[in-house]
Amino acid sequence: MQSAAAPATGDGDIHALLQDGAHTQAFARLLERYETKVYRLCCALMRDRTQAQDVAQESLVRIWKALPGYDGRASLSTWIYAITRNRCLTAIGRRRDFAPIEDEHLEAEADAPQEPDDTRALLRGLVDTLPERYRRVLTLFYYDDRSVSEVADMLSMPEGTVKTLLFRARALLAEQLKRRGLFDARAWLGASS
């Protein structure tokens, strides 16, 4: 995998605090900036929000413990997201009821008829049936103000890959909506926004 393109970050103040040995202040500043992003990354990876909350807590505790050893080789955001992703993957591995869902299986699920009352719920349901890597990219993209670079940093992917996955995810969704006779109803889609 190519290295992820690091987004422009303004973490110089945190770096300065770390160099001065002010770890507590640096962590407080880090929390202000990354707490929500870490939680959202966990939500996108874990699917379950209760578990995402636990894993986000674990990740932040781990970040606090590892902060004195942060050497600045990777950007702070990349380092934080790497720790969070690792915690999520560990939690997913631990989850007994977690069964890795094959892409083909998901495609089949996407074909299953759904009749939710809420159009947003329908769309969310369709997103949930996307193959995992599409779902993660798409979810994070909309969670993080549609920033491709941020998603690339969070998932440690090149921006080009994120764009490709986004394109394919949207295409898959459009196909699903077409099958339901909804995609052409632009007014319907527009009304849901």
Question: Considering the rule CB under 8 A, would residue 35 count as an interface residue with other proteins?
Answer: yes
Other Cβ atoms closer than 10 A to 54: 15
Distance CA 166, CA 46 (A): 19
Question: Considering the rule CB under 8 A, would residue 127 count as an interface residue with other proteins?
Answer: yes
Q: Which residues in 80-119 contact other proteins (CB under 8 A)?
A: 119
Of the candidates 16, 21, 61, 66, which one interacts with other proteins according to CB under 8 A?
A: 61
Q: Which residues in 5-24 contact other proteins (CB under 8 A)?
A: none
Distance CA 88, CA 42 (A): 6
Question: Considering the rule CB under 8 A, would residue 40 count as an interface residue with other proteins?
Answer: yes
Contact 95, 51 (CB under 8 A): yes
Cβ closer to other proteins: 22 or 74?
Answer: 22
Distance CA 123, CA 98 (A): 23
Nearest approach, Cβ of residue 133 and other proteins (Å): 16
Give 57: exposed, middle or buried? Use CB within 10 Å, 0-12, 13-18, 19+: middle
Cβ closer to other proteins: 20 or 128?
Answer: 128
Nearest approach, Cβ of residue 3 and other proteins (Å): 26
